[in-house]
Amino acid sequence: MSEVKMEDIVSLAKRRGFVYQGSEIYGGLSGTWDYGPLGVSLKRNIMNLWWDMFVDSRDDMYGVDAAILMNQKVWQASGHVDTFTDPLVECGECKSRFREDQIDTSKCLNCGKEGSFSEARQFNMMFKTNVGPVDDESSVSYLRPETAQGIFTNYRNIVDSFYPDLPFGVGQVGKAFRNEISPRDFVFRSREFEQMEIEYFVHPGNWEESFEHWRQQVWEWLKALGLPEDKVHELEVPEEDRAHYSKRTIDFEFDYPIGRKELLGLAYRTDFDLMNIQNSAGKSMEYTIKGTNEKFVPHVIEPSFGVERALMAVLVSSYREDEQNGEKRVFLALPHHLAPVKYCVSPLLKNKPELVEKAREVYQALKKKHGNVMWDDNGNIGKRYRRQDEIGTPYCVVIDFDSLEDNTVTIRDRDTTEQKRVTISEITE
Ligand code: GAP
């Protein structure tokens, strides 16, 4: 496979209705993206896969869906109000602002003026807002910068409702917001994005075992996304680069066309968050081992997954170009379980009512079985195949005159382009 270029991914994503610039019609809003019909389907397939793997199919996991707006005390106790910052520098000439750790020049990237940057100051990345009609300090809230805190603040509720054995975990999928100084690289660094997070509560003496367990689970996840193993790298994050709450972090990095960058993180958060809540809310976060008097505040292993970065890695690793009958072909070799459209159904000719009728029958039967099935009777068959290849549809089914006689159809494979004859019941039952 030749090197995939970022422009190819961005262009295909826009052209075929995966991802559009947010508020594009008004000139856009930097760091925001809208998901089109195929993008939303791909994104949901990724999130559903995650939920199936890490919540539904496990006995030790619970799900939550906490409010995005939370009491400001959550973010004071968690340390985000004081420390969730990036270093910001401003150009004295054109007033453009940059993240200091992302520039390696003393020349302004906007106006080119040499030595015009201010001293760095810490810029808090949380979006601040006010809840209710009174605009004062007591009504301040923030759009959550991580879904994790909605889990920690519900830890006591879950323990009291379900009496889970330790270790157990809580998973959440939802929006997170960060006022990134320089959003960039397509959806990679967005201001509004989606996280899939697990807080896994463990006995303090067993954190290493659980850390290792989740490290292996992360690799299972990467396999399920269809990412080539040699494109993913573990980075043991040194202490000075770790988040304020972490005693150990492994970043799982992916070879994106923009370089090797963080895809997801695995952190040991100790009892940092539960202790902060205990101290600031004045409620016990202790867990008592059943049948004993052993009490302690659990420690936490946190695998934290970003949906957009997973989606971008999936698009990059499934993007292919080859040549068919002397013509360049672009296709997405998406794993079948992630493909937004599972089958495309066409009548050979759209002006033959008997073919259309039969094709509609097959279409309905496939739709009943697979949900996301597309109907396409535009242009010639070759063009239909190209369109479906570009959006990663694994199979195209064509109904022709023989289908009327013997109930067989032509089914074409996206990756090999091979066509074969199968009976309708073989694919619909
Ligand atoms: N609760 C821990 C936490 O939020 P993080 O490393 O800051 O840790 C976790 O974020 C994941 O969220 C990242 O690995 C990435 O996949 C995703 N993520 C973070 N910031 C993002 C952004 N601005 N745009 C898109 N995804 C982002």
Task: List, as one string, the DSSP characters of 269-332.
Answer: EETHHHHHHHHHH-----EE-TTS--EEPPEEEEEEEEHHHHHHHHHHHHEEEEEETTEEEEEE
Chain centroid to CA 191: how far? 14
Sign of CA dihedral 339, 341, 343, 347: negative
| CA-251 nearest atom, ligand 1 | 14
- List phi, psi (to 5°) of 394: -65, -35
Q: What confidence tens digit (pLDDT) does each residue in 20-30 have?
A: 999 999 999 99
pLDDT of residue 101: 84
- Specify the long-range contacts of residues 374-383, CB closer than 8 Å, at least 24 apart: 374/341, 374/343, 374/344, 374/345, 375/344, 375/345, 375/346, 376/344, 376/345, 376/346, 377/346, 377/347, 377/350, 381/346, 381/348
pLDDT at 269 over 90: yes
Q: Within a 13 Å sphere around the CA of 4, how many CA atoms are in the beta-carbon half? A: 26
Instruction: Give distance in angstroms: CA of 365 to centre of ligand 1.
Output: 41
Instruction: Give distance in angstroms: CA of 193 to centre of ligand 1.
Output: 8
Identify each DSSP E strand in 203-244 by its residue range: 232-236
Mean pLDDT score of the chain, rounded to an integer? 95
pTM of the model: 0.95
The token duo for 286 is: 């202790």
pLDDT-wise least confident of 81-90, 143-152, 244-253, 381-390? 81-90
Instruction: Give distance in angstroms: CA of 423 to centre of ligand 1.
Output: 47
Smallest CA-to-CA distance from 228 within 263, 258, 197, 186 is with: 263
pLDDT of residue 90: 87
The token duo for 329 is: 């072909």
What is the pLDDT confidence band of residue 2, given thresholds at 50, 70 and 90? low
What is the pLDDT confidence band of residue 71, given thresholds at 50, 70 and 90? very high
What is the pLDDT confidence band of residue 207, given thresholds at 50, 70 and 90? very high
| CA-264 nearest atom, ligand 1 | 14
Q: What confidence tens digit (pLDDT) does each residue in 175-188 have?
A: 999 999 989 899 99
Q: What confidence tens digit (pLDDT) does each residue in 216-225 have?
A: 999 999 999 9
pLDDT at 35 over 90: yes
pLDDT at 417 over 90: yes
Give whole-number Cα distances, 350 to 240, 385, 410, in Å. Answer: 64, 16, 16
pLDDT at 64 over 70: yes
Run of H or E including 186 = none
pLDDT of residue 99: 87
pLDDT of residue 47: 98
Nearest CA, atom 21, ligand 1: 189
The token duo for 239 is: 């202490």
What is the rounded average pLDDT of the residues 353-368? 97
Asked if the peptide bond before residue 87 counts as cis, ω within 30 degrees of 0, the response is: no
Chain centroid to CA 140: how far? 29
What is the pLDDT confidence band of residue 106, given thresholds at 50, 70 and 90? confident
Instruction: Give distance in angstroms: CA of 198 to centre of ligand 1.
Output: 13
Q: List pocket residues of ligand 1, CB cut-off 6 Å.
A: 146, 148, 178, 180, 189-190, 193, 195, 197, 262, 264-265, 302, 304, 306, 308-309
Q: Within a 13 Å sphere around the CA of 88, how many CA atoms are in the beta-carbon half? A: 17
pLDDT of residue 1: 45
Instruction: Give distance in angstroms: CA of 424 to centre of ligand 1.
Output: 45
Instruction: Give distance in angstroms: CA of 284 to centre of ligand 1.
Output: 29
**Distance between CA atoms of residues 251 and 235, nearest Å:** 5
Share of the chain above pLDDT 70, in %: 100
Share of the chain above pLDDT 90, in %: 86
| CA-307 nearest atom, ligand 1 | 16
